[in-house]
Amino acid sequence: MNVSKFFMSQKGKVVSKGLVTHKISRAYSKNMYLLPVPKDKITEFGFDISPAHVGNLLNSIDFYVPKDTPIFAAAEGKVIKLLDSSRSKGNTVEYWDKGNFIEIMHSKKESTHYEHLRYKGVKVRICQKVKAGEVIGFSGNTGFTENPHLHFQVNRYVSKDDFVTVKARFANFIDVYKKHKR
Ligand SMILES: [Zn+2]
């Protein structure tokens, strides 16, 4: 696959749907987070291994783990959005909003977003309060994806509906952004 061409066309389409903005941040998160998957299940990870991590999604991290891996809340917070009814997957942008996901709001205007969960793989409800490290769901391969993985991002809200991703600071893992540089 021609990655740069894919990158350009996907980016163009996504921008036109208003899902990715050109706002970027190079800042680290204000909160400290826990790894959202068991360390020993990770086969590959990185923030710069997906062509979809552009614009305001720049600092997202993909953790390659097998399907049905438990997903942990990265910090305490309140569930604000979720989807778990999707059975669809594909590697075109039409599948962008077909990924099962959870978003949890934390302090300091930061939230964490967990994407590509399995069908019916969400184990929390809207407005539920969760503790750091609590199992919130199970990984899968739904949405805009090729192989099973967890897409993880830390959002910092700049207004009610608008955010940038920031670099996740982990209490129990390496600085992912130093593993690869771009
Ligand atoms: Zn991703």
| Per-residue model confidence as pLDDT tens digits over 63-108 | 999 999 999 999 999 999 999 999 999 988 889 899 999 999 999 9
Whether 168 contacts 150, CB under 8 Å? no
Q: Please name the amino acid found at residue 43.
A: T
| Per-residue model confidence as pLDDT tens digits over 124-169 | 999 999 999 999 999 999 999 999 999 999 999 998 888 999 999 9
Q: Model-level pTM? A: 0.88
Q: First-to-last CA distance in the chain?
A: 21
Give the Å distance between the CA of 167 and the centre of ligand 1.
Answer: 13
Give the Å distance between the CA of 52 and the centre of ligand 1.
Answer: 6
pLDDT at 9 over 60: no
Give the Å distance between the CA of 112 and the centre of ligand 1.
Answer: 13
More confident residue, 87 or 15: 87
Domains of the chain: 3-174 (2.70.70.10)
149 catalytically annotated = yes
Taking the C-alpha atoms of residue 148 and residue 87, their distance in angstroms, rounded to an integer, is 13
Whether 102 contacts 124, CB under 8 Å? yes
